[in-house]
Amino acid sequence: MKLSDRIQAMQASPVRKLVPYATKAKKAGKKVYHLNIGQPDIQTPSVFMEAINAYDTEVIKYSFSQGEPILIDAICDYFRRDDIHFEPEDILITNGGSEAITFAAIAICNPGDELLVPEPFYTNYNGFTGEVNVNIVPITTKAEDGFHLPSEKEIEALITPKTKGILFSNPGNPTGTILRSDEMEMIARIAIKHHLFIISDEVYRGMAFDGLEAQSMASIKGIEDHLIITESVSKRYSACGARIGAICSHNKDLMKNILKLGQARLCVATLEQIGAAALYRLPDSYTKEIRDEYQARRDIVFDALQQIPGVLVQKPTGAFYMVVKLPVDDAEKFIIWMLEHFDVNGETIMLSPAEGFYATKGLGKDEARIAYVLNKDDMQKAMKILQAGLLAYNNQ
């Protein structure tokens, strides 16, 4: 029996595919610092469990396909703080940002259609689009430009009759880049001119450093019918396992149709929605605290990387990732070697090879993504291990 072409063409997650090497290293008694995955170590705010514990029900019923009203209202209020106005019917709760992006791709693309995506991009975009036979067309961005977008002309040259939209995360994973307002305006102009949807993945919004702000794409006027925002509690509120996200759009026709996808999977987990509503109501001071913590970690990692000969890195301004060029031919081989053959006093690190974050073959081979999701002490230790590992690897 043969499996579908679709599933066979899908790539294994580059973030997770080296996990067996880490498991083996741990079995051999090594401690592994996981800088490969965006799993923050920050405590999920206690209001999440408090809200769930206070939820009085005898039966855990199906929730509404659109989502729990208490959560939808909390998301509307979250945006209203930035003068962005969504009505409850503009929101649909999803199983994480992942399902939100998948739903958006299904809703706007036919099989074989294309989405423009700045690369390097969050590698699971390949999964969300591949599983519904949508093709990603990369807009290549470069480290030396701080992973900012190329010119309007260069982007427009990639548009074909099959292009249905532009998908990007802002702040960016894996780049940590925050789009400037002129770039956001440019995306809006292109979308209007070429009748494209904009899928603005804002799961890292609020994590912006050095006094910058990652504005929501919804702050740009005139693109209401084009814009789909995907949201999540995973990163901002350190609640990855809650699996709560949302699609937000003023396009009534789109939302009416997306509800059919919601109905087809019945609903999102009821209790986690109750907890997530409390997260969205946390004051701005919470986001500030988180942002300051990640900025401090970013500084530790960036300063340490500057000291390592042959490592090239741009200072990221948001999210909790950075892409680094390593003085090796093949970053994946180096990462595996670190797990299999290297440790400092029984400790080693795991990074993500960056190649899987590019759609263009050959790009990113000597690059890795570092997720600075561990506390400052651990990040400091991890950088020392990386420095010693690179020296040993290149002296073999």
Residues making contact with ligand PLP (CB under 6 A): 38, 96-98, 122, 169, 173, 201, 203, 232, 234, 240, 245
Nearer of residues 119 and 343 to ligand PLP, judged by Cβ: 119
Nearer of residues 97 and 389 to ligand PLP, judged by Cβ: 97
Ranked by CB distance to ligand PLP, the top (closest) residue is: 96
Find the helix packing angle between 284-306 and 376-394, rounded to 10°: 30
Q: Cα dist. 383→188, 216, 311, 366 in Å?
A: 39, 33, 12, 18
Give the nearest distance from C-beta 215 to ligand PLP in angstroms: 16
Give the nearest distance from C-beta 216 to ligand PLP in angstroms: 15
Nearer of residues 234 and 314 to ligand PLP, judged by Cβ: 234
Give the nearest distance from C-beta 100 to ligand PLP in angstroms: 8
Give the nearest distance from C-beta 1 to ligand PLP in angstroms: 31
The sign of the CA dihedral 63, 69, 70, 76 is positive
Nearer of residues 201 and 366 to ligand PLP, judged by Cβ: 201
Count of Cβ atoms closer than 10 Å to residue 11 Cβ:
12
Give the nearest distance from C-beta 296 to ligand PLP in angstroms: 21
Give the nearest distance from C-beta 3 to ligand PLP in angstroms: 25
Give the nearest distance from C-beta 258 to ligand PLP in angstroms: 16
Q: Could you tell me if 25 and 47 are in contact, meaning their C-beta atoms sit under 8 angstroms apart?
A: no
Phi/psi for 93 (5° steps) reads -80, 140
Indicate the pairing of strand 227-232 with strand 163-169: unpaired
Nearer of residues 203 and 305 to ligand PLP, judged by Cβ: 203
Nearer of residues 122 and 372 to ligand PLP, judged by Cβ: 122
Phi/psi for 315 (5° steps) reads -75, 115
Give the nearest distance from C-beta 170 to ligand PLP in angstroms: 9
Give the nearest distance from C-beta 15 to ligand PLP in angstroms: 8
Nearer of residues 25 and 229 to ligand PLP, judged by Cβ: 229
d(C-alpha 312, C-alpha 327), whole Å: 8
d(C-alpha 104, C-alpha 106), whole Å: 5
Q: Considering all CA atoms of the chain, what is the largest pairwise distance in Å, rounded to the nearest integer?
A: 64
Nearer of residues 128 and 337 to ligand PLP, judged by Cβ: 128
Give the E-state strand segments of the chain in sequence order: 31-34, 91-95, 114-119, 135-140, 163-169, 197-201, 227-232, 244-248, 312-313, 321-325, 347-350, 352-353, 367-371
Give the nearest distance from C-beta 340 to ligand PLP in angstroms: 26
Within 8 A by CB and 6+ apart from 310, the residues are: 326, 327, 390, 394
Give the nearest distance from C-beta 307 to ligand PLP in angstroms: 28
Nearer of residues 102 and 251 to ligand PLP, judged by Cβ: 102
Nearer of residues 207 and 274 to ligand PLP, judged by Cβ: 207
Q: Cα dist. 21→7, 18, 128, 348 in Å?
A: 24, 6, 26, 12
Separation of CA 280 from chain center = 18
Nearer of residues 321 and 342 to ligand PLP, judged by Cβ: 321
- Name the residue among 132, 100, 67, 50 with its Cα closest to residue 267: 67
- Sheet bearing 312-313, strands edge to edge: 312-313, 321-325, 367-371, 352-353
Cis peptide before 171 (omega within 30 of 0): yes
The sign of the CA dihedral 334, 335, 339, 342 is positive
Q: Could you tell me if 235 and 214 are in contact, meaning their C-beta atoms sit under 8 angstroms apart?
A: no
